[in-house]
Amino acid sequence: MWKGRFSEPTAALLLQYSESISFDWRLWRHDIDGSIAHSAALEKAGLITAQERAQIADGLREIGAEIEAGTFQFKPELEDIHMNIEAELTRRIGDAGAKLHTARSRNDQVALDLRLYLRAECESLTELLRDLQRALLELAEANREIIIPGYTHLQRAQPVFFAHHLLAYVEMLARDVGRVGDTRTRLNVLPLGSGAIAGSTIPLDRDLIAQLLDFPAISQNSMDAVSDRDFAVELLAALALVAMHLSRLSEDVILWASSEFRFVTISDAYTTGSSLMPQKKNPDVAELTRGKTGRVYGNLLSLLTTLKGLPMTYNRDMQEDKEPVFGSLDTVKAALTVFAGMLRGTRINADACAAAVADPLLLATDLADYLVKRGVPFRQAHEVIGRAVALSAARETPLPSLTLEEFRALHPAFDDDLFEVFHLDRAMAARTATGAPSPQNIGAQLARWRTELR
């Protein structure tokens, strides 16, 4: 590429140190698409003939077919995907191939390739996120009558429908879909035509290239276009949030599948055993997903750190942008796929859930609300119910087993209808505020998501 300026060949050690073909090969399809569009602009500018353009396009498609088939031989000494394709094209078609790089730099070429690649990956990610939402929705719909304790501080707090708990993750993933979509919108800008830093004295029709590559916008500053990796950082941030949501869901699944909870049973296909203890059945999908979250976080910090001290415009440091991006995409896409499979093979243990939610202390707040509805200030009602709970604990008897006289000794507002508070079905039906887990609300939310995810 630069033999005219240099008097001795590049050291083999440097070639080994600086090559990127070992990971940027996956940009091949987008490099070929970008080069075909670039050749159209070269023809329009009168820099190549229609015949040369056809040679270039045919040659590139032939190379693409070989790469897809796994028969193309990449050469590390050519450094990257761009030069591997261009050098082979020139070898095959001669001078027409050597003209392809006219008015183009690897700086704007790689910026284009990465944007095209991530645009497609955003679409793939969105579908995987949607599929995990569908898996959660399917599990929720199949178990819409199941009630479990909701937890704060990992202590039993209030009763919720199991479906309501799962739908919380559907909501989280919906925000992830939105963030990925926002990222796709901002990255969908054509950088090609910016050259190495200051464009070129050979002006090409960038509108034509944008039209051919389906870009709705064109970069307006050549220096920003070749140095911008905000879109990659933004996608890594979105992926970090996806990983965080998956990690939280993993923690719930791990707890639910434990012998102490026994709320769910994961299928054998998505669990593993122990090399020593024959009775073990381990929730490896959830544990691995929780563990891989750290890698996704690290990739985000890695790219931010790489970019933070770079002067304008392109610097070779920016070659380090791809491995974090590729790594996070591979990790999160795999986690989304396997998690959806695991959920579709998970069974809910209704008896264990019913036993846990039978704890009357889950309705202590409802009992405070009972007093509030009779004119007792909430702080006073809270204290009264706290003393009732303490009395129940001291007597080693369930809260509903206290007598009406004992309740009235704590506050005269209690009446004999207070024991109706401990009817779980009635308690759930009373949670009618928007976003609360009443059966009616749950049904409406299931229907809404069924429509949205159809």
Predicted TM-score of the model (pTM)? 0.95
Q: Which CATH number is 107-355 given? A: 1.20.200.10
Neighbours of 17 (CB within 10 A): 8
Q: Does residue 5 have a pLDDT over 70?
A: no
Decide yes or no: CATH 3.30.1370.100 for domain 359-452: no
- Active-site residue, selected from the candidate residues 153, 382, 392, 411: 153
Confidence of residue 18 (pLDDT cuts 50, 70, 90): confident
82: annotated active-site residue:
no
**What pLDDT was estimated at residue 4?**
66
Q: What is the mean pLDDT of the chain?
A: 96
- CATH 1.10.40.30-classified regions of the chain: 359-452
Give the Cα separation of 133 and 378 in Å (integer). Answer: 38
List pLDDT tens digits, range 317-359: 999 999 999 999 999 999 999 999 999 999 999 999 999 999 9
153: annotated active-site residue:
yes
Q: What is the mean pLDDT of residues 98-117?
A: 97
- Active-site residue, selected from the candidate residues 274, 302, 328, 401: 274
Give the Cα separation of 211 and 437 in Å (integer). Answer: 49
Give the Cα separation of 399 and 389 in Å (integer). Answer: 6
- CATH 1.20.200.10-classified regions of the chain: 107-355
Confidence of residue 379 (pLDDT cuts 50, 70, 90): very high
Distance of CA 288 to the CA centre of its chain: 16
**What pLDDT was estimated at residue 109?**
98
Q: Name residue 158's beta-bridge partners.
A: 150
Confidence of residue 3 (pLDDT cuts 50, 70, 90): low
Q: Which CATH number is 12-102 given? A: 1.10.275.10
- CATH 1.10.275.10-classified regions of the chain: 12-102
Q: Identify which of 113, 313, 126, 79 has the alpha carbon closest to the alpha carbon of residue 231.
A: 113
Q: What is the mean pLDDT of residues 71-91?
A: 96
